[in-house]
Amino acid sequence: MRRDFVFHLYNVEHDNFLNLLAKCPVDKRMVVPEGFNTSLYWHLGHVLRVTEFHVFDLGAQPTSLPQKYQDIFFYGTKATEWKEEQLAQLPAWDEMIDLLKEQREHLYNTFKDRLEEPVPENFKKAENFGELMLTTAAHLSNHNGVVAAMLQILQQK
- For 10-58, the pLDDT digits (tens) are 999 999 999 999 999 999 999 999 999 999 999 999 999 999 999 999 9
- For 79-117, the pLDDT digits (tens) are 999 999 999 999 999 999 999 999 999 999 999 999 999
SS3 30: coil
Q: Where are the alpha helices (DSSP H) in the chain?
A: 3-22, 40-51, 67-73, 84-89, 93-111, 129-156
Domains of the chain listed by start with CATH number: 3-156 (1.20.120.450)
Q: Which residues contact 4 (CB under 8 A, 6 or more apart)?
A: none
Output the pTM of the full model. 0.94
The mean predicted confidence, pLDDT, of the chain is 95
Give me the torsion for CA of 145, 151, 153, 157, rounded to 10°: 180
- For 115-156, the pLDDT digits (tens) are 999 999 999 999 999 999 999 999 999 999 999 999 999 988
